[in-house]
Structure 1
Amino acid sequence: MVSATVDVVDETFLAVPPPVVAAVFADAGAWPRFWPDLVLSVYADRGAQGLRWTVRGALVGTMEVWLEPVLDGTLLHYFLRADPAGPDGRAAAAGSVPARVLAAERRRRQLAAKRVAFHLKRRLEGDRPPGHPPVATA
């Protein structure tokens, strides 16, 4: 099996319980705001543990958010394994995308993953000072 050319892994701690984070990702209406050039189809809804999607659009592959309960909050794990889409909407042929273009795409997706995570951190944690208990509801 050939590995994906865009392989992104990210982790961010959110001081809220996993069901609060899961509710954000369960809202399919939020997906285009988080990933505007991707079309997602759920293939595994794991409830408070997260979601797994197939991805098409600008990329073709899979994506996952895994929500791990840690201490008084959630460790948000993000995985994207995909390839750029070719003109036919399928994964571009191996070697058809220049290495510098792939490197730029990986970096762009890494930064986008962190933007989503920090957006959720601000939104869900609110004004909670560091070291204080998580907010009960968001």
Structure 2
Amino acid sequence: MSSIQVADQTFIAAPGSAVGEVLADRSRWRGWWPDLQLQVREDRGDKGIRWTITGGLDGTMEAWLEPMLDGVILHYFLHAEPRGGIDGLSGRDLLAANRERRVAGKKMSFEIKARLEAGRKAGVAPAHAQ
């Protein structure tokens, strides 16, 4: 079991192909995860992307896109160990590290959501579903 574990999900009213395109844009990765180096393990297009990560953490990360209603659920998973291991880290430090990574994942998913849903009124089907 990894010391840093994040599992989160966000509904995005956009097709998986559009979400997958934003996720695959390497120029965005540094903004979302500034201390991580990502190596694509599997680019699944409209189904998401899987990475191996190094840097501030060593482990794996995934954004899985599940078709749902008129969009997708972006499932975000991170399983990793802090650089240098957990020796010397208190339980409070590990909780803080987990929280920091959950917040980073949520910022990523909300940025994608805001970008792809821009201009859509609440309760109105997205353009691709009309």
Q: TM-score interval w.r.t. the shorter chain?
A: over 0.9
Q: How big is the shift at 1:80?
A: 0.3
Secondary structure of the residue aligned to 1:131 is: coil
Residue 105 (structure 1) aligns with: 97
Q: Identify which of 62, 65, 76 aligns with 1:64.
A: 62
Tell me how many residue pairs correspond in the alignment.
Answer: 128
Structure 1 residue 107, shift from structure 2 partner:
0.7
User: 1:30-69 residue pairs with structure 2 within 5 A?
Assistant: 30-69=28-67
Instruction: Name the SS for the 1:106 alignment partner.
Output: helix
How far apart, in 2, do the equivalents of 1:59 and 1:99 lie?
17
Distance of 1:47 and 1:128 partners within structure 2: 24
Q: Distance in 2 between matches of 1:38 and 1:101?
A: 19
Percent sequence identity over aligned pairs: 47
- DSSP-derived class of the 1:104 partner: helix
Q: Is this contact kept in 2: 1:125–1:135, CA < 8 A? A: no
Deviations 1:75-96 (A, max 9, x none): 000000001001xxxxx1x544
Q: Of 113, 124, 127, which residue of structure 2 is paired with 1:132?
A: 124
Give a deviation string over 1:87-120, Cα, whole Å, max 9, x none: xxxxx1x544221111000011111111111111
5+ long unaligned stretches in structure 1:
87-91
Alpha-carbon distance, 1:121 to partner = 1.2
- 4+ long deviations beyond 3 Å: none
> Paired residue for 2:109?
117
RMSD: 1.1
